[in-house]
């Protein structure tokens, strides 16, 4: 058995980190954050981590201060001689910038990967990256978890008849097909065109949903424009009900209002990001047990392949 690991949290993920530590069988380590009047801050580990494996838990959703906090904690751990430094990032932000989709733009996800490694991360644990190929931006090991292990048991207990899985865009068709294969349902795809970021100019449904119970599958919901427009279109095409699952509840701008006014029966998300606003249509499933179990397996050099349902 390996020596005990220590778990620490960034401020933006304190609640979920505390639950993960409890499920792991320990308490969060002590970290103080010193803040200057101009907003600059400095994390400080208040216990020895020399020669140990540590896990630093923190999603990197905006504001950018959340990412900066993770980077500073990684650097502090490296300089305090921690032996293994695992960044546990339930939500890896900037992941939509995974390629150059037009001239003179950055590949933000690659830059963030390099920043994390340079700061001191020797391993990354994350969940449902926006694009699987982002794993290739790292030179360090990446444990890329799938929230299907969380969502599928919930979907099965709903016991929906005439089930159909839908992707809100062409890019998510592979994910939708995986869910459909496991749940033995059909697949439909929403084809969309954007005028600008977060602004859809056109959407059409490919496939039939008449008298079906539809599950929209996505990795994240930001403004909820896409998923709500897709839900409304699916109901217009004759579906009985439409639900959506999205791992990361970014929910910016008028997202909650959009969800409230949409034809969605339910939006099912995880607690990878703290929910900004509660709503009866938003159901939160916890990623705590999954994260704690994977961390334990990583620390004890055990296989994690059994945790990948699809």
- Annotated catalytic sites, by residue? 192
What's the DSSP call for residue 142? E
The answer to whether the CB of 146 falls within 8 A of the CB of 104 is: no
Q: How far apart are CA 36 and CA 128, in angstroms?
A: 35
Euclidean distance between CA atoms 28 and 57, whole angstroms: 10
DSSP states of 181-219 as a string?
HHHT-EEEEEEEEEEETTEEEEEEEES--TT-EEEEEEE
Q: How far apart are alpha carbons 284 and 48 in whole angstroms?
A: 36
Q: How many helices (H) and strands (E) does the chain have?
A: 8, 14
User: CA dihedral in degrees (48, 54, 57, 61; nearest 10)?
Assistant: 100
Nearest Cα residue to 272 out of 92, 108, 96: 92
Q: Is 246 helix (H, G, I), strand (E, B) or coil?
A: strand
Helices (H), ranges, 91-184: 108-119, 148-158, 173-183
CB-based burial label for 80 (10 Å; 0-12, 13-18, 19+): middle
Chain CA centroid to CA 124, Å? 13
Helix (H) or strand (E) holding 85: strand 84-89
């Amino acid at each position: 058995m390996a020596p005990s690991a220590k778990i620490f949290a960034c401020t933006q993920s304190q609640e979920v980190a505390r639950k993960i530590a409890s499920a792991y069988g320990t308490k969060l380590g002590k970290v103080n954050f010193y803040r200057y009047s101009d907003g600059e801050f400095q994390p400080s580990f208040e216990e020895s981590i020399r020669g140990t494996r540590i896990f630093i838990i923190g999603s990197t959703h905006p504001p950018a201060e959340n990412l900066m906090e993770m980077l500073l904690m990684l650097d502090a751990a490296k300089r305090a001689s921690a032996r293994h430094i695992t960044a546990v990032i339930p939500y890896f932000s900037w992941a939509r910038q995974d390629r150059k989709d037009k001239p003179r733009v950055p590949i933000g996800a690659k830059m963030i990967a390099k920043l994390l490694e340079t700061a001191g991360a020797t391993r990354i644990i994350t969940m449902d990256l926006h694009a699987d190929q982002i794993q290739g931006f790292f030179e360090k090991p990446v444990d890329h978890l799938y929230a299907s292990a969380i969502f599928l048991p919930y979907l099965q207990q709903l016991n929906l008849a005439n089930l159909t899985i839908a992707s809100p865009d062409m890019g998510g068709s592979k994910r939708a097909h995986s869910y459909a294969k496991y749940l033995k349902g059909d697949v439909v795809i929403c084809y969309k065109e954007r005028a600008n970021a977060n602004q859809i100019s056109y959407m059409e449904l490919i496939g039939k949903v008449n008298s079906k119970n539809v599950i929209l599958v996505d990795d994240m919901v930001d403004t909820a424009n896409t998923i709500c427009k897709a839900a409304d279109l699916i109901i217009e095409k004759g579906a009985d009900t439409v639900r959506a699952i999205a791992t990361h509840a970014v929910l910016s701008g008028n997202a909650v209002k959009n969800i409230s006014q949409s034809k969605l029966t339910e939006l099912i998300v995880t607690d990878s990001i703290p929910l900004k606003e509660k709503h009866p249509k938003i159901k939160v499933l916890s990623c705590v047990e999954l994260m704690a179990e994977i961390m334990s397996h990583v620390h004890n050099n055990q296989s994690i392949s059994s945790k990948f349902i699809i």
